[in-house]
Structure 1
Amino acid sequence: MSITAPWMATGQTAFTFRSRRKKPADLVSICVTNFNYGRYIPEALDSIAAQTHMALDLVVVDDHSDKDDSVALITAWMEENRERFWRCTLIVHPRNQGPSEARNTAFKHAVGAFVFVMDADNTIYPRAIARLHEAARDGGFDATYSQLEYFGKEQRIGSADIWDPAQMARENYVDVMALIRRQAWTDVDGYSHIDQGWEDYDFWLKFIDHGFEAAYVPEILCRYRMHGNSRTTNDAWAAHESLRAIMAFRHPELSARYQLLPDVKA
């Protein structure tokens, strides 16, 4: 892993609970990142507690919420629901560092061999972790992902499809909501900060760069909230072409292999 810069604080533990039971062999960590989503995160956490896969390690990272009472809400929820989990932990960043560093902080605190990533405004169906973990375990995959259901201001089905490096070079159709082998996250050096977005796309391209395999579970297991205030809506779409150029620059071998990403010279 790259050395963490001094201004990239790893966060302070605001709440933690750990069961006295032996660590389960099938323990899955669920990492939730939150920034001023206090109005949404109880629903996200309730959907996690309702999972049919029982062995769960919950890690929530609050990226310095400053416009609501997110930390108090999360703490109260964990106090009430802690017995559901083998471990649950709330980490609070002392300053806002963006989604990539929030996810990296969550991974650093995760203890499961597999980690599921989600943002605090989304939810998952009860069978999500069980189905994704089963596919990853039985197929020996480094990551598994499902189809999305968009809800809120817009209702529709997502565009997820089978894992195809050539198609991924054209466009990203795999959401950040996925189950990832923790060692694979370490090997690709985690998520990278990109000012205008597409950190999840960059992460999956790094997956391809390293020869890792992901698998598509063709079921609707995850729900993506459409509310018009996401970073993707506000920043990434406006900077679409420049972001594609950044991806080509960051992944030159992939760009050359498939001749699909823009040809960008240093």
Structure 2
Amino acid sequence: MIPKVTVIIPFYNCLYVQQAVESALAQTYPEIEVIVVDDGSTEHMDLLNPYVDRIRYIRKINGGTASALNAGIREAKGDYIAWLSSDDFYLPNKTARQMSFMLERGAWISSTNFNFVNDRNLVLMEAPNFSFTSNLELLDRLKRECPINGCTIMMKRQLLEHVGMFNEEIKYTQDYDMWCRVVLAGYEFHYLHDILLHYRYHPNMGTLKHKDALKREIGTLQAIYGDRLEQRRQVLLTGGWQP
């Protein structure tokens, strides 16, 4: 029996949610469930009407992306968890290709390459600086930035039992916090260079709207994790422990 994958789509007033849902439902991988977590939306909910019999729909009061992801994870039936923002979309072979990649390596978590697209789905460019060649490089880069796009992630659900859920007190950089916790717990991140996601760059995206708050959160997390990431890197350099 092949593993089941749960794709969680946090949704809040997003005009593009229909494309995200369609891309998740169009995956070539056969064992997949799609959970849409409506984080207290007040508009565009009607875009989900054509899919109500093919998705699991959860509505909750507004609490932010981390709370929406956690709500989906608690309801997930999959052995693996994937996250798709409501303004992005998967390529059809994303789940199948990434699952094959992970099973070949015994990976617990992986990320992939992606393209930037605009509001009309035109490709702007291949993602720069979102790759890494080893966990040593990843540890070094995490001290300064986040070279991982959360919507390219696939991870074993079991991993969350070891490192905990997304931190709901972090409003915009809950992904950066999670990846730091994962590598500090000793888990190896695997990177697949295939482009399997289209990441939408548009004026209303949260990364632009909340740029200043996001920078403040990043600075706080760097202060929390910087020394520990370097200590972990030194452990790996000397052939230290793995989980």
Partner of 1:222: 197
SS of 1:112's equivalent in the other structure is coil
- Cα distance change on mapping 1:160 and 1:224 into 2, 3 Å: same
Task: Report the structure, 1 or 2, having the larger helix content.
Answer: 2
Q: Which amino acid aligns with 1:92?
A: R
Residue 122 (structure 1) shift? 0.4
In structure 2, the gaps of 5 or more residues are 235-243
Q: 1:199: which partner in 2? A: 174
- CA apart distance, 1:256: 5.1
Unpaired runs of 5+ in structure 1?
Answer: 1-23, 83-87, 260-266
Partner of residue 31, structure 2: 55
| Cα distance in 1 between the residues matched to 2:118 and 2:110 | 25
How far apart in 1 are the matches of 2:227 and 2:74? Answer: 28
Aligned 1:105-254 pairs, distance under 5 A: 105-152=71-118, 155-158=124-127, 159-162=129-132, 163=135, 164-177=138-151, 178-195=153-170, 197-237=172-212, 239-240=214-215, 243-249=218-224, 252-254=227-229
% identical equivalent positions: 23
CA distance in 1, matches of 2:57, 2:82: 16
Output the amino acid matched with 2:4.
Answer: L
CA distance in 1, matches of 2:139, 2:225: 16
Deviation beyond 4 Å, 4+ runs, structure 1: 255-259
By how many angstroms is 1:160 displaced?
2.0
Residue matched to 2:238: none
Report the secondary structure of 2:210's partner residue: helix
Q: What TM-score results when the alignment is normalised by the length of structure 2? A: 0.84
CA contact (8 A) 2:166 2:174 kept: yes
On the 8 A contact 1:75/1:90 being kept in 2, the answer is no
* Residues 84-123 of structure 1 mapped to structure 2, 5 A cutoff: 88-93=55-60, 95-123=61-89
Aligned counterpart for 1:31 among listed residues 8, 12, 26: 8
Deviation at 1:155, TM superposition (A): 1.3
